[in-house]
Amino acid sequence: MGSVTISELRLPYLIRCGGKAPGQNRDLLLFNNMALRRCHLNPKKTLFLLCDIQEKFRPAMPLFDNMVKNADKLTKAGKALDVPLIVTEHYPEKLGKTVEQLDISHAKLVSGKTYFSMFTPEVKAAIKELFNDKPEDVVLYGLESHICVEQTAIDFLQQNINVYIVADCCSSRLNQDRDLALDRLRQAGCVITTSESVIFDLVRDKNNPKFDAIRKLVSPPSVDMKLTRQPSDSDVGSSKL
């Protein structure tokens, strides 16, 4: 049996975008896809992407304050763990800057954009400078889930970069748009996760020198974002009466 390429591991995504399934066993490919997506995060090979959490969006977004609190925890943890951060602001001339509650002083780039995706020429250049090529994983959070976050995720998947979507740090004007976007992104090959899951996966060990700083951040629980879980294929027929 031949080796399986990363592009082949993106089988569900490739088919959705018009690609053809390779002539290998689908079950094997899907299993390998799961194995790829569940690798541990490495702070030196991971990039945080904070997408358009701007003040002008606050009145229109349900649970905006909750999202900001969770994003604040995640962003501070990334800073403590020396994970590089890139921040975008959508049309900041009209929509304003990133909310003041988020400390982005350590960001490697804060860039305005008109593209919906964060994968702009400025961001591409910053990534190349940071990683010489590209990170293994990106941790993506912000808004809106079904527009800028979704398009950003797809662009990074096309670069064969693993994408972690931090669900409790994402928002849309309608919760249904957020939840359905998360479901689409899961099917496309993203890992749908939470802020604390990302943080602890980066730390890995209580003896990590940064653990005391992280412990203070995670002592208060994350704030509930009223997420709903869409059933997967494996759930079908599994309910018990």
Q: Considering the candidates 52, 72, 155, 168, report the single residue annotated as catalytic.
A: 52
Encoded tokens for 161: 């970069």
Q: Considering the candidates 51, 113, 170, 179, report the single residue annotated as catalytic.
A: 113
Does the active-site annotation cover 76? no
Contact 141, 166 (CB under 8 A): yes
Q: CA 166 to CA 49: how far, in whole Å?
A: 10
- Token pair 């909310």 is at which residue? 99
Encoded tokens for 218: 């995670």
Does the active-site annotation cover 148? yes
Q: Kind and range of the H or E element at 34?
A: helix 26-37
DSSP secondary-structure letter at 54? B
* Nearest-5° Cα angle at 179, 178 to 181: 65
Residue 183: CB atoms within 10 A of its CB come to 16
Q: Considering the candidates 51, 148, 169, 190, report the single residue annotated as catalytic.
A: 148
Contact 222, 195 (CB under 8 A): yes
Q: CA 139 to CA 146: how far, in whole Å?
A: 16
Q: CA 26 to CA 104: how far, in whole Å?
A: 42
Does the active-site annotation cover 113? yes
Q: Which residues are catalytic?
A: 52, 113, 148
